[in-house]
Structure 1
Amino acid sequence: MKLQSALSLFLFLLCQNLCAQKELNFPEIQYPPDDIKANWVSHPEVKGGEDVTILFRNEFTLENTENDFIINISADNHYFLYVNDKIVTHGPQLSDIKHWKYETLNLKPYLKKGENVVAVKVLNYGKRRFYGLQSIFTSLMVNGVTENARILTTTGKGDSWKCTIDQSYEAIEVNWRGGGPTSIVGGFYANNPTDYVNMNLHPTNWKKPDFDAADWSATSFFEGASSMGGSMAYLLEPRNLPLLTWEEEPIGKIVRHTENINSMFPEKGALNIPVNTKMTFLIDQKYVTSGFPQLVWNDGKNASIKIKYAENLFGKNNEKGDRNEIKGKTLLGYYDSIVSNGSKHQKFTPNWMRTFRFIEFEIETKDQELNLESFVNYRSRTQIPSIARFETDNELYNKIFDICKRTIDICTQDYFLSDAYYETMQYVGDTKVHALLWQAMSGNLEHTKNAIEQFHQSRDSEGNILGAYPLRSTFIYPTYSLIWVDMVYDYFELTGEIEFIEKYKNGIIHTLGGFEKNMNDLNLVKKTKYRYFVDWYTGPNNGGGTATKNDGENSAVVSLHYVHALENAAKMFAAIDDNHQAGLFQTRANEIKSSVYQLCYDQTRQIFAERPDKTVFDQHTNIMAVLTNALPKEQQKELLSKILEENALLQATYYYRYYLFKAIQKVRAPELFAIAQEPWSNMVKDHMTTVLERFESQEKPTRSEVHPWSASPAYFYFDFLAGIQSVKNNFEEIIIKPAFGELKIMEGELPTAKGSIGFRLKKSKNNLQAELNIPKEMKGNLVWNGTTVPLKPGLHIYKMD
């Protein structure tokens, strides 16, 4: 196999994405908030909080197009920026009021000599807006950085902007509670509302220079961008991640329809729909994707077009089954609704990202035929390339890797999405797993640093990290506070950055000190007003995600999560020479471990119970007992084998199997890996293209189908089976110690901060042949059957007995 350098591919892809438009403050801040002179402005008739779209225009003449034309821009809730009818980007990056992000852009490539127009659409999604969106008031801020761009500075006091309320738009609330027919299957919906647009009321061509905006309003002042050492509204910070992509992606074929269709729409060719016709047709993308699908059409005065989106189809009892099977199944999901105005070249693009494999159109024409011209998707992803590759001699593993990677790619936007359809929030427990996977797929740590910082910013006075952040609500799961500490340790373990611990050490002390108040006299956790989320348990004693039905009182697994965080904190504080605090953390961890063993270990069954009354047994407690050494090391492999054989135990589902795989790796038991991975084979059998949120059960049917916390096998393919690990300073020094499991051949590319590692590993009986391409900035060792061989930079073949 010829191993190409993934580093060169990384740079090529990065250039391809960034050449169109890039964030000028990433990776280094060049334009800080101190220099922003603009005000926040709005439309004079906006009251605040309602679902509304405000359209802003600024038309100006430009004689010199050779100079940079740099602006800062932000909005509340969300904006889309256009120059001369071409989209530039949308934003702002998700954050909170005290850390409100702004983008910094050079508009020079979009400008022309003569008349130009910069147009901005600002959305407020209303009372049911996305749970991650904090908000004060529907408003826009544009700051001209370069002299020629100052004409765009918003002041609300005689600036050159014009604005209008787009009367064509209303938010469609996605009904999942409160009675009446539900729009979705599966409960909790935290994503944005969808769109109703009446094109008869829409100001067509408002983004073009020759549009007549004479009857539009002047902007009204809302607040200054800064004052009195802070702000009367938002505390501005520069965007700290790349812009999102806007890449055209073809949409799949029509696979089912109610009327005769003589067209290849949307692949090619228009679709004509006669007058007074009702038509429904279903499109199968063949894989789950996300982005902004854009429909272009002509004519069809007052025709109604409903566009429904779903990850899957449902049978008559809401069962899913084989995702490729569409017969007798129905699309149940959120939708956009449009009324046509009868003109040529009308366009509809949703105001928020849509996720789908299946799209269903429901169309009803009136007295004019409707002609659908084109339908494409504009994919939204982080611009950081995801270039990891993994292939084996076992096709099941290849398919599992593919569905895991697609999930991670879809859900890495300008923050880590918990899922792509229902919630789209950045949860702590989800992000711990997601971050490790994204690092393996991209070799990049910027999203991880952003998530750790945003969780740190969410901390309350008691030390609790909010369960998800950014957030306009208050979700607290004390277990997730502990996992934030683990995330900081994961980052430190990889990079060795002492400064990173120094930055968060006070937060770590506060969070662990706050959790200590949850402990009782048994050295186990007690009930709290918050929920100890552990996993979506299935079977008896299902606690709805909590450690069984007693609100977590005396929970061994939660107590051991505390131990895990304490021990990670002890290692970090020892690294910064705070041996006193490190000793306190470790001593406390030892006390709790001892109590868990004495009170919860069942000598007869030789496994841990979930609580001292020994009425509930689960895999989770035993997994954490291995990871924290609550059981002697020589007994740990046998314990893992035992819990994988006992089906009566409460099972670790997709999310918690990250910890199961980690425990299997810890005890070096690759023979158990395939057993732990078995649930993923059902997803492959059902032709899924992304990974599920949880196990299917009658009491808790599966919901989200794009859920990164379930993608952990792909991480361990590199970290455990191929055995490629950083030993020092983020892959400055590495070890390659293959475990294989049931595999015989593994090959692929693992991107890192020091370049990409290419590998082809082949096992024959006890022999290893390793073809490795090692970046010149790395050093390390290849280890096989107790033998260690130094690695050489470049492409080399190693043969070991």
Structure 2
Amino acid sequence: MHLQGQKEINYPEVIYGKENISASWVSHPDIKGGEDTAVLFRNTFNITDSKEDFIINISADNHYFLYVNGHFITHGPQLSDIQHYKFETLNLKDYLIEGKNVIAVKVINFGKRRFLGMQSIFTSVMVNGVTNNATIINTTGNNDNWLSTIDQSYKANEVVWRGNGEKAIVGGFYANNPTDIVDMNHYPTNWETLDYDDSRWKKVDFFENASSMGGSIAYLLEPRNLPLLSWDEEPVGSIVRSSNPIDTAFPKTSKLKIAPNKNITFLIDRQYVTNGFPELIFSKGKSAKITIKYAENLFGENNEKGDRNNIENKQLLGYYDEVISNGNVAQKFIPNWMRTFRFIAFEIATKDQELILEKFVNHRSRTTIPSVAKFTSDNTLYNDIFDICKRTIDICTQDYFLSDAYYETMQYVGDTKIQALIWQALSGNTAHTKNAIRQFDHSRDSDGNILGAYPLRSTFIYPTYSLVWVDMIADYYKTSGDKAFIHTYKDGITNTLAGFEKNMNELNLVNKTPYRYFVDWYTGPNNGSGTATKNDGLNSAVVSLHYVHALQNAALLFKEIGDDHTYNSYKNRAQEIIASVNKHCYDAKRKLFAERPDKTIYDQHTNIMAILTNAIPLSEQKDLLSKILTEKDLLQATYYYRFYLFEAIKKVGAPELFDLAQKPWKKMIDDHMTTTLERFESTEKPTRSEVHPWSASPAYFYFNYLAGIRSVKNDFEQVEIVPAFGELNEIKGLLPTSKGNIEFELEKNKETLSAVITIPSNMIGNLVWGGKNIALNKGKNHYTIQRDK
């Protein structure tokens, strides 16, 4: 059920830009700086015509929740940086009544441990009336009607992941927001409703002007460029275990009563991973402490995971919220930031009054751009893999691309290259891709480095990810044919590549840098924290070939816009580096590329990239690919880098090897995973994130390679369908595109292809099979093709 009817007015086209803004940023007079706090704002006003549009802009630092007359409207702002700070534009008329109304805004500052992707200046809010009737609610801090109070019930609960004390999570690095500690005894119940008494609240204080005409002391504002996030109510699951006999009909059908002076725990299983804002409504239970823990999975005695459906002798180790009851009826708790979970554990300690849990649901959060792609085949393993890949991508496409949904939630360049392609296949929409490319462009430092993740309040630099940003632009162009897009970023491309060129040494291989050349989560004795070696990437063949890959992609882009000088420069430089990699790293005896000139390290990655860059003749690439998959001593490409392995299989036309390359995903299905893992399991680097989009690449190649559906011109204006099948004999599905949905049923029988294909009326295309090429007819049609003898 979709409860949120509000839409972003400026998506997909900007209607009301920043030139309409005359309001200012305001705050509570007692706010000092970046402390963790929740500030509540109210503005009570009158309107005479409730049918008239009432359009506002709104933004806040760090995060806001907007209510009108007690109705939840949305939360935001869209994640960005200070120089491109986003505001939402909304029409509130459907929530207003003639006469007295109230707009209420909750603003949270998560404090010093806030999400690493969240830039901040000061706890503040900006509300601006766009239509004349809405200017009465402008925040100005000077004779406006806004009142505010500090929510004394809230404090940020730091998620402890380092240091010598007890850890809140398993697996190290945590970059997401703190969780919540809320004492309802200090909560201003019904503060967002019309009849609440705010007479003791304080007038707001002016912080800074919101105008960004040529500059700003604070935030440079710009309109939100993606739709609002969903707020869809869904069940949280069923109770599967408890410390005491309890009514397990909760939370599905009945309330749960907990007697005074009891300590109970119970575990809820959603059956699959989801995300959103869980809502608990509870009554009585004065001074009871309710701890709500969330996790993607359960852990065994030695933190092993195993079969995710097996909960016996396993415990939930994860972040948690803590709520103290005030004893009143119908208390409500919703976290201030998104939670990700399959399992939820309640730990409840009551005092002298019975506690009643009345309702517990989740408000699912993700982009509202529809994800409608479908895929089935005659192999259930492939179907199951598609399902977990799709769920992962859906969860991690919010108002930016999340690297994972639980631990970091950052938008990393290397991750996003893969996720963007999969998301486009699932939705037929490129808005998120364009947003990510633009945000990465904003991150470039003075040396030409694209930050490894962005938006960001830290400084993560992986020079390889700078190269991947160039590859992303090429990916987008190959589908869209949009030359204006190349022009937008051509200066950034040249700056980034010039910056990387400074890393090259006299061997025409990469030198050491102050940063880390991240390639993959290698395992084994040569693990270099993301690189294949422990020598900081000196003379790394795979990194040098990644530079070649970016140079070749850039050359293609500049050729397309008629810049022959830059095209030839990049093409020639790529060939120089290829020659050096062959000279110093190719092992003629093994017919493999070593990872560095001393030939002590051999990995799949270098050889995959050698195929993708044509560092080895075309005639030898299929043999090299076979060796990549059969040589046992090569350092293995994990889930992330197998995207490039699948690309190499597609490039050399070896669909029979796809199933072998996909084998690691079988373990996920055998373990009843419902989303995709971050990396291979090992004692040295145990798996951590279980909702990791960079591991969802099979879903993309099921469409792009096995079904063989690709855009040939202008974002699917012209399409080519070249089925490869691999181990499959039947493939069915739906692929959304910007021109409409392509529906397909493909069946291979010895030397015959039988196909039922539906293409939109504004699309042309060809079906290619067995040496034959036939034109596709518009609408739904049946095709039978015999392979050439």
Compute the TM-score of the two structures, normalised by the length of structure 2: 0.99
In the alignment, residue 796 of structure 1 is paired with which amino acid? N
2:382 paired residue number: 397
Relative to structure 2, which stretch is displaced further, 140-149 or 320-329? Answer: 140-149
> Structure 2 matches for 1:465-544, cutoff 5 A?
465-544=450-529
Pairing partner for 2:16 from 31, 36, 45: 31
Of 320, 333, 337, 2:318 maps to 333
Q: Report the equivalent of 2:762.
A: 777
Partner of residue 329, structure 2? 344
State which of 762, 786, 789 in structure 1 corresponds to 2:771. 786
Contact 2:19/2:213 (<8 A) preserved: no
Match of 2:444 in 1: 459
Secondary structure class of the residue paired with 1:305: strand
Q: Is residue 583 from structure 1 mapped to residue 535 from structure 2 by the alignment?
A: no
Deviation at residue 227 of structure 1 after TM alignment: 6.0
Query: Structure 1 residue 131 and structure 2 residue 135: aligned?
Result: no
Between stretches 723-732 and 54-63, larger displacement belongs to 54-63
- Which residue of structure 2 aligns with residue 248 of structure 1? 233
The answer to whether the Cα contact below 8 Å between 1:17 and 1:383 also exists between their aligned partners in 2 is no
The alignment partner of 1:559 has SS state of helix
1:603-614 aligned within 5 A = 603-614=588-599
Q: Residue 585 and residue 331 in structure 1: after superposition, are their counterparts in 2 closer, same or farther (change >3 A)? A: same
Structure 1 CA distance, aligned partners of 2:766 and 2:368?
33
Q: CA deviation at 1:228?
A: 6.8
Question: 1:117: Cα distance to partner?
Answer: 1.1
Residue of structure 2 in register with 1:264 after alignment: 249
| Aligned equivalent of 1:708 | 693
Counterpart selection for 2:645 from 660, 664, 668: 660
CA distance in 1, matches of 2:658, 2:230: 36
Question: Partner residue of 1:143?
Answer: 128
One-letter code aligned to 1:542 = N
Report deviation, 1:18: 10
Matched ranges for 1:351-500 at <5 A: 351-500=336-485
**Residue 649 of structure 1: SS of its match in structure 2?**
coil
Rounded to whole Å, the distance in 2 between the matches of 1:350 and 1:228 is 36
For 1:449 and 1:796, locate their aligned partners in 2 and report how far apart those are by CA, in whole Å: 34
- 1:303–1:25 CA distance, 2 compared to 1 (3 A): same
Match of 1:615 in 2: 600
Question: Following superposition of structure 1 onto structure 2, how do residues 206-225 of structure 1 map, counting pairs within 5 Å?
Answer: 206-225=191-210
CA contact (8 A) 1:18 1:383 kept: no
Q: Please give the alpha-carbon distance, in whole angstroms, between the structure 1 residues aligned to 2:44 and 2:264.
A: 42
Confirm whether residue 299 of structure 1 aligns to residue 299 of structure 2. no
SS of aligned partner of 1:294: strand
The secondary structure found in structure 2 opposite 1:320 is coil
Structure-2 separation of matches of 1:775 and 1:57: 50
Alignment of structure 1 residues 590-669 onto 2, 5 Å: 590-669=575-654
Return the letter of the residue paired with 2:427.
S
Contact 2:2 2:231 in 1 (8 A): no
1:756 to 741, 750, 753: 741
Cα distance per residue 1:163-211 (max 9 Å; x no partner): 0000000000000012200000000000000000000000001011000
In the TM superposition, structure 1's runs of 4+ consecutive aligned residues that sit over 4 Å from their partners are 16-19
Structure 1 residue 226 displacement after superposition: 2.0
Paired position in structure 1 for 2:42: 57
Question: Letter of the aligned partner of 1:574 in structure 2?
Answer: K
Whether contact under 8 Å (2:212, 2:220) holds in the other structure is no
Amino acid at match of 1:307: I
Distance 2:488 2:212 in 1: 27
Residue 722 of structure 1: aligned partner: 707
Output the amino acid matched with 1:86: H
Per-residue CA distance 1:93-121 (angstroms, 9 max, x = gap)? 00000000000000011112232111100
Letter in 2 for 1:510: N
CA distance in 2, matches of 1:716, 1:100: 36
* Counterpart in the other structure of 1:573: 558
Q: Secondary structure at the match of 1:326?
A: coil
Deviation at 1:64, TM superposition (A): 1.4
The aligned counterpart of 1:195 is: 180
SS of aligned partner of 1:197 = strand
**Aligned length in residues:** 786
Q: Which moved more, 1:220-229 or 1:537-546?
A: 220-229
Residue 177 of structure 1 aligns with which residue? 162
Shift of 1:59: 1.2
Secondary structure of the equivalent of 1:673? helix
Equivalent-residue separation in structure 1 for 2:47 and 2:333 (angstroms): 30
Confirm or deny that 1:276 pairs with 2:243. no
The amino acid of 2:724's aligned partner reads A
Shift of 1:63: 2.6
- Flag structure 2 segments of 5+ consecutive residues without an equivalent: none
Please tell me the residue identity of whatever aligns with 1:664.
I
| TM-aligned CA deviation for residue 544 of structure 1 | 1.1
CA contact (8 A) 1:226 1:232 kept: no
Give the Cα separation in 2 of the matches to 1:780 and 1:358: 46
Query: Residues of 1 paired with 2:385 and 2:700: CA distance?
Result: 11
Deviations 1:722-749 (A, max 9, x none): 0001111100111101000000000000
Q: Which residue of the partner structure matches residue 156 of structure 1?
A: 141
Give the unaligned 5+ runs of structure 1: 1-15
Counting aligned pairs with the same residue, the percent is 68
Amino acid at match of 1:461: S
SS in 2 for 1:127: helix
> Helix, strand or coil for the counterpart of 2:111?
coil
Corresponding residue SS for 1:780? strand
Greater Cα shift, 142-151 or 787-796: 142-151
Q: 1:174 to 1:431 in 2, by over 3 A?
A: same
Deviations 1:619-669 (A, max 9, x none): 000000000000000110111111101121100000000000000000000
Q: Are the equivalent residues in 1 in contact too, given 2:27–2:204 (CA < 8 A)?
A: yes
Deviation of 1:547 after TM superposition, in Å, equals 3.1
**Aligned position for 2:539:** 554
Encode CA deviations 1:320-357: one digit per residue, 9 max, x unaligned: 00000000001000000000000010000000000000
1:538-590 deviations in Å (ceiling 9; x for gaps): 12301110231110000000000000000000000000100001000000000
In the alignment, what sits opposite 1:229? 214
* Aligned position for 2:726: 741
- The 8 Å contact of residues 263 and 270 in structure 1, kept in 2 or not, is answered as no
Return the letter of the residue paired with 1:792.
Answer: N
Query: Take 2:383 and 2:595, find their aligned partners in 1: how far apart are those partners?
Result: 36
The answer on whether the counterparts of 1:532 and 1:547 sit within 8 Å (CA) in structure 2 is no
Whole-Å Cα distance in 2 between the matches of residues 178 and 141 of structure 1?
38
SS of 1:74's equivalent?
strand
CA distance in 2, matches of 1:168, 1:679: 47
SS of the residue corresponding to residue 504 of structure 1 reads helix
Instruction: Write the letter of the residue equivalent to 2:405.
Output: A
* 8 A Cα contact 1:132 1:472, kept in partner: yes
What is the identity, as a one-letter code, of the residue corresponding to 2:608? I
Q: State how far apart, in whole Å, the 2-side matches of 1:350 and 1:392 are.
A: 40
Aligned-residue offset at 1:263: 4.2
Alpha-carbon separation, structure 2, partners of 1:395 and 1:318: 30
How far did 1:213 drift? 0.4
Q: 1:212-263 deviations in whole A, cap 9, x for unaligned?
A: 0000000000000126721110000000000000000111100000111124
1:734, 1:651 → 2: CA distance? 35
Deviations 1:414-463 (CA, angstroms, capped at 9, x unpaired): 00000000000000000000000000000000000000000000000110
- Which letter maps to 2:161? W
Task: Please tell me the root mean square deviation across aligned C-alpha atoms, in Å.
Answer: 0.9
Letter of the structure 1 residue corresponding to residue 47 of structure 2 = L
Shift of 1:19: 7.8
User: Counterparts of 2:260 and 2:429 in 1: how far apart (Å)?
Assistant: 54
Q: In 1, distance between residues paired with 2:581 and 2:506? A: 12
CA contact (8 A) 2:466 2:496 kept: yes
Report if aligned partners of 2:12, 2:225 keep a CA contact under 8 Å in 1.
Answer: yes
Q: Contact (CA 8 Å) 2:2, 2:233: kept in 1 or not?
A: no
Hey, what's the Cα distance between the residues in 2 that align with 1:221 and 1:549? 53
